[in-house]
Copies of this chain bind each other. A is one copy, B any other.
Amino acid sequence: MSTHKYTIGVDFGTESGRAVLVDVTNGQEIAAAIHPYANGVIDEKLPDSDVQLEPDWALQDPNDYLEVFKQAIPAVLKQSGGEAEDVIGLGIDFTACTMLPTKADGTPLCFLPEWRNNPHAWIKLWKHHAAQPEANNLNEIARELGYTFLDRYGGKISSEWFFPKAWQILDEAPEVYEAADRLIEAADWVVWQLTGQEKRNSCTAGYKAMWSKREGFPPNEFFKALDPRMENIVDQKMSRDIYTLGDKAGGLSVQAAGWTGLKPETAVAVANVDAHVAVPSATVTEAGRMVIIMGTSNCHMVMGEEEAVVPGMCGYVDEGIVPGLFGYEAGQSCVGDHFAWFTDNCVSAAYEREAEKRGLSIHELLEEKASALKPGQSGLIALDWWNGNRSVLVDVDLSGVLLGTTLATKAEEIYRALIEATAYGTRKIIETFDAHGVPVNEIVATGGLPDRNKLLMQIYADVSGRPIHTVGTTQGGALGSAMHGAVAAGKAAGGYETIQEASKHMARLGFAKYEPIPQNKAIYDKLYAEYNTLHDYFGRGANDVMKRLKALKKSVKSQI
């Protein structure tokens, strides 16, 4: 290990944290270790207590994150057989918005006996959805008062984001809000624990906390309009100092060096979001190439040189992904989830037996059967709104449609139609970007799906009419973090000056590449035109049947 230098990326997911030790020279992943969170997702009752949680709650335990440092980093060091002094930097990425209240010294309130039994003292995980009333109020007030920052987020702030969560604490547990000297993203909190420095990153601030490089946070009057007690939330409990991705947050503290086995003063980068950090690790550090993280849902990220307001996008942040460029994000709320729903609910016992007999998963069997079909052969078309529409229309009250069924319709035809529907949804997003000044010329796919479902990849290429590359890593988050660690370490220490430089050396594309097949593309152009007509008919007010059905469902359920 003497001539090469290494960095470590730590990727904090929903159920576990993962450390990967990477060769700075060539991006080779030398060692990896996963440490599952002891308390996982806390959604029923608080640990070691009888305090029950309401539905829609999802909490975590900050100690579980520290354990990742204490277990997974020593594990990769040991696996690699390397020396701590050859590790020049450390980067982390995190789910977001995942936030917590702490004391001024960074101690989480939930570590303190007097707050331990209060759910609001714990970490609110990204998928904590109980702040919906606060999100609704925030959106309404912002619109009424004419604030324009909503434009940067497709017109709407999600209940998953920072201020709805903070406001819920104030609403429901003002004593916790009062006791919290700091309200902070877990991403920034773990960097603080490593370095002793509270340094907040531009990615979570921009995408989750309504911050922009040019305008900063919304003004105090806005927060006052939400609740007078929140007027000074930014100055009192947050910070207006926001750091660029790749910046060095500080050096590893002696205490954290003890936890990890790394050398004190090892460079630690400011934190990042798990999705966004996967962009440079997918080789993308310039405008025009979209990265799609494909998994249970799809997250689309692309950069542009100009500021553009793209209808219905999740958000855009200046320098939110890579310094010097605007980072645009869009999403489809239901992709892998679609297929999982289908196989869980709608695949016959006969197919299950066939899959078992042939040693295939049900997904593999369906993929095989669906691959034998040509585009257009099933006569089916679907709208991919099983979980609402997160982009372009931004409407959670929309629901799914399957059209064209006959008595001869087979499960694999429906399965393929659902894949196609998500591809049409992605094309819709791409074309909306393109039409509003953010060109998309090529796609790089990462996440769990690309390696598992070749049919899906080909369909995405055919439908979008763009070549789709895969990436040369299965650790897009951790590798991206390790790359940021190399930038934080800097050239003198054996790292890089910029993320572009790091990406050039450390990131690579995968072998698999999918080119649009012209005759498929021609058929999908026709089908996409049908999708578009249905998309607008059901999604833009011509027939609000989905909303009426949902309202009726709600009213019926309320009477049961």
Alpha-carbon distance between A372 and B410 when the two chains are bound, in angstroms: 28
Contact mask for chain A residues 324-345; partner B; CB cutoff 8 A; 1 contact, 0 none: 0000000000100110010011
Q: Which residue of B lies closest to A530 (CB)?
A: B545
Q: Quote the shortest CB–CB distance from A350 to chain B (angstroms).
A: 8
Alpha-carbon distance between A527 and B337 when the two chains are bound, in angstroms: 28
Known: A374-B556, A379-B549, A533-B543. A401 touches B407 (CB 8 A): no
Q: A378: CB under 8 A from chain B?
A: yes
Pick out which of these stretches binds chain B: A35-43, A184-192, A265-273, A380-388.
Answer: A380-388
* B377 adjacent to A545 (CB under 8 Å): no
- List residues 501-540 of chain A with CB under 8 A from any CB of chain B: 523, 526-527, 530, 533-534, 537-538
Known: A347-B348, A374-B560, A411-B346. A545 touches B381 (CB 8 A): yes
Q: A145: CB under 8 A from chain B?
A: no
In the complex this chain forms, how many copies of it are found? 2
* A556 adjacent to B377 (CB under 8 Å): yes
Residues in chain B near residue A448, CB distance under 8 A: none
Alpha-carbon distance between A419 and B352 when the two chains are bound, in angstroms: 26
Q: Quote the shortest CB–CB distance from A337 to chain B (angstroms).
A: 6
| Residue among A523, A530, A537 with most chain B CB within 10 A | A530
Residues in chain B near residue A377, CB distance under 8 A: 553, 556-557, 560
* B404 adjacent to A402 (CB under 8 Å): no
* B399 adjacent to A553 (CB under 8 Å): no
* A545 adjacent to B523 (CB under 8 Å): no
Q: A494: CB under 8 A from chain B?
A: no
* B386 adjacent to A334 (CB under 8 Å): no
Alpha-carbon distance between A406 and B334 when the two chains are bound, in angstroms: 10
* A406 adjacent to B401 (CB under 8 Å): no
A523 contact from B353, B527, B543, B552, Cβ within 8 A: B552
Residues in chain B near residue A534, CB distance under 8 A: 543, 545
| Residue among A380, A381, A406, A534 with most chain B CB within 10 A | A406
A556 contact from B347, B375, B559, Cβ within 8 A: B375
Contact mask for chain A residues 9-35; partner B; CB cutoff 8 A; 1 contact, 0 none: 000000000000000000000000000
Q: Which residue of B lies closest to A399 (CB)?
A: B404
Q: A400: CB under 8 A from chain B?
A: yes
A348 contact from B348, B401, B552, Cβ within 8 A: B348
Alpha-carbon distance between A548 and B381 when the two chains are bound, in angstroms: 11
Residues in chain B near residue A411, CB distance under 8 A: 345-346
* B552 adjacent to A526 (CB under 8 Å): yes
Residues in chain B near residue A548, CB distance under 8 A: 526, 530
A549 contact from B334, B381, B410, Cβ within 8 A: B381
* B400 adjacent to A405 (CB under 8 Å): yes
Alpha-carbon distance between A349 and B548 when the two chains are bound, in angstroms: 33
* A387 adjacent to B406 (CB under 8 Å): yes
* A386 adjacent to B399 (CB under 8 Å): no
Q: A403: CB under 8 A from chain B?
A: yes
Residues in chain B near residue A553, CB distance under 8 A: 376-379
22 contacts between A and B (CB under 8 A): A334-B407, A341-B409, A344-B348, A347-B348, A347-B349, A348-B349, A375-B556, A376-B555, A381-B545, A381-B549, A399-B403, A400-B405, A400-B406, A401-B402, A404-B545, A404-B549, A404-B550, A530-B545, A533-B545, A534-B543, A534-B545, A537-B543
